Amino acid sequence: MPDTPASPEPASTVLVITAHPQMEQSRINRRMMRSASTLAASAAGPVVVRDLYSLYPDYLIDVAAEQALLADASLVVWQHPIHWYSMPPLMKLWVDDVLSFGWAYGPGGTALRGKDLWLVATTGGPEDSYHPESYNRYFFDAFLPPYEQTAALCGMRFLPPLLLHGAHRADDTQIEAHTSLFADRLSTYPRWPELDELLYGLTRHVPEDARPEEPITEPVLKENA
């Protein structure tokens, strides 16, 4: 009897979480989001795109929906411009609400363990502005520990970021090359040669009493004099 052909491995789901407060005015992040959305609509692979500022203009995040998508993803992409050396406010709220204690980390919080986290970011300042002798004072890597530690606490692997510095001055050729690289990486994940050399960090134990529940107290009503 002829050998039964091996079933192809299921494609890894890529979840792109994009956050730009003025996406309609963006030259680069908007184009990158559209590129990811094109992949999502094609047969190139299971890509899901979540535009946070479009989905949650009221800042009321559907935590259950976001967690369900995260649970199905192998690669989680955070795509956003750098705001004050960090992420935009709605992205930070998403992290605060969705990556909850007991789900993403802490006792029983294993939902994200073994997944990959990839930061895709743009900066207004050029690369040489992130230098001890320039106005940003630090190399850009100095601003990455919060991202790296978030991944580590959740048992995720933090992948080397994809950055475009000096976004305000980037010309069409640079933008097109950067967008094409982004789309190629999304469509070929996990077939990235460097992934074989990257290790997952050891999961840090978080004790159960790290986040004790606060007792509910009744408000004190003052009597009228």
Burial of residue 77 (number of CB atoms within 10 Å: 0-12, 13-18, 19+): buried
Strand partners, 80: 121
- pLDDT over threshold 90, residue 97: yes
Query: What's phi and psi for 211, nearest 5 deg?
Result: -130, 70
Contacts of 143 (CB under 8 A, 6+ apart): 82, 85, 86
- Give yes or no for a contact between 80 and 91, defined as CB atoms under 8 angstroms apart: yes
Q: In terms of DSSP bridges, do strands 75-81 and 116-122 run parallel, antiparallel, or are they unpaired?
A: parallel
pLDDT at residue 34 greater than cutoff 50: yes
The confidence band for 18, taking pLDDT boundaries of 50, 70 and 90, is: very high
- Asked if residue 185 has pLDDT above 70, the reply is yes
Res 7 pLDDT > 90: no
Give pTM, 2 decimals. Answer: 0.85
Residues of the chain with pLDDT > 70: what percent?
84
> Which residues make Cβ contacts (< 8 Å) with residue 174, sequence separation at least 6?
164
Superfamily of segment(s) 14-210: Flavodoxin domain (3.40.50.360)
Residue 145 is encoded by which pair of tokens?
Answer: 């520990």
Band the pLDDT of 90: cuts 50, 70, 90: very high
Q: How far apart are alpha carbons 73 and 65 in whole angstroms?
A: 13
Tell me if 189 sits within 8 A of 75, measured CB to CB.
Answer: yes
Contacts of residue 63, defined as CB under 8 A and 6 or more positions apart, other chains included, come to: 97, 98, 100
> What local confidence, expressed as pLDDT, does residue 207 receive?
81
Residue 4 has pLDDT above 80, yes or no: no
Whether 6 shows a pLDDT value over 90: the answer reads no
- More confident call, 43 vs 53: 53
